[in-house]
Homo-oligomer: A and B are copies of this chain.
């Protein structure tokens, strides 16, 4: 099972709605089950540095089938996965990346959101994927 472009575009639309509610400007990326980029949008005014972070959050979430923030707890100094960020061409392990599941619970892709605080990044990502999950 793999997320479709139409589903991913709806995820982006929901992310933009939530970002507008929070009055923040986000970069939003969706990858498919193969961790390959499916769709992306940078809201006008979003910081340029968060383009790559949003994409890396989405890839990280699917590559490890975990919310990025969960991986980030494990990658701290003295943690079991210290500096795992060096793998796979660079990971981002703070919140804002969430695997996307279908109604059967299969992981079909992931979203990555970046542009505001990690709390807002997570809220936008969570809201965006609630449609499908």
Contacts and interface: CB of A to CB of B under 8 A. Distances in A.
Interface of A: 4-5, 9, 32-44, 47-53, 56, 60, 62-65, 72, 75-78, 80-94, 117-118
Contacts of A80: 94, 117-118
B76 A86 contact: no
Contacts of A60: 49
- A9, A37, A72 interface centre (most CB from chain B within 10 Å): A37
B76 A78 contact: yes
Contact of A37 (B42, B65, B72, B87): B42
Nearest to A71: B49
Nearest to A9: B41
Nearest to A73: B78
5 contacts: A34-B48, A35-B36, A52-B87, A86-B91, A87-B90
